[in-house]
A and B are shown apart, each in its own frame.
Chain A
Amino acid sequence: MHNDILKYLPYKSSFLFVDNISSLDIDGVVGDYTLKSDAFFYEDHFPGNPVTPGVIITEIMAQIGLVVLGIHLMISGADKDGFTMDEASFPLLTSTDVSFYKMVLPEEKVIVTSKKLYFRFGKLKCLIEMHNTAAELIAKGTFSGVIKNAAIKKEQNG
């Protein structure tokens, strides 16, 4: 487990969508999240018929696949451009292109697998997949993001 990284995630309670990180290196990450039946979005999406919104599926994929990996790349010093994080830094999603194959219901556990396509000039782009515990594909797509207000540690010499 690589759950030490979770303390760097800036999300709280109702918008934290990462339970465990089972694999993490500079090329990718695997993590999981179990949807809580009392999550705020089920009451209205849809009344009497709770289905996980696609936007939440996307957020789970982004938090595990992009934000966890991005923070790991920053704090492990793997970024040769020398970007670094401080208290003012936060992750921003810059683009997604996702297809959805299966619905996700309350209390389902989902596993997110992310492979780095590139990490350059502070931007991370990944191919991210989500599966259920039966190894069926739920969603797949490419995601990109940056860390806003990341400082540049490197000395600038004109």
Chain B
Amino acid sequence: MDRTTILSELKKVLAPYTENKAMLDGINEDTDLIKDLKINSANLVDIIIDAESQYNIEIDFDAAEKMYNVGNCIDVISEKLNRTV
């Protein structure tokens, strides 16, 4: 699965957690989940849990800590996906 595919799927995962729909449409790898998308920081946990079930992966604490922008989320997801394949 390439990064563009993961990014477009990630948009759907993020959608319930941001009020900023215009920003969500235009996200790129540098988009910060808290600063740009104004996501409640505690909801990052829900995003991680949703991403786990979306991709059938397990994200541990060390990986979760890195997931503060879109690029890092894609890094973690693609790394876990490659490991399970």
Contacts and interface: CB of A to CB of B under 8 A. Distances in A.
Nearest to B64: A121
The 5 closest A-B pairs by CB, nearest first: A94-B42, A123-B45, A81-B61, A121-B45, A123-B42
Nearest to A154: B61
B34 interface: no
Contacts of A95: 40, 42-43
A94 B61 contact: no
B49 A120 contact: yes
Contact of B40 (A81, A94, A120): A94
Interface of B: 40-46, 48-49, 61-62, 64
19 contacts: A81-B61, A82-B61, A94-B41, A94-B43, A95-B42, A118-B49, A120-B45, A120-B48, A121-B44, A121-B61, A121-B64, A122-B45, A123-B42, A123-B45, A125-B46, A144-B42, A145-B42, A146-B42, A156-B62
Contacts of B44: 121
B66 to A, nearest CB: 12
A123 B42 CA distance: 7
Interface string A111-153: 0000000101111010000000000000000001110000000
Contacts of B42: 94-95, 123, 144-146
A80 B49 CA distance: 16
A154 B62 CA distance: 11
Contacts of B48: 120-121
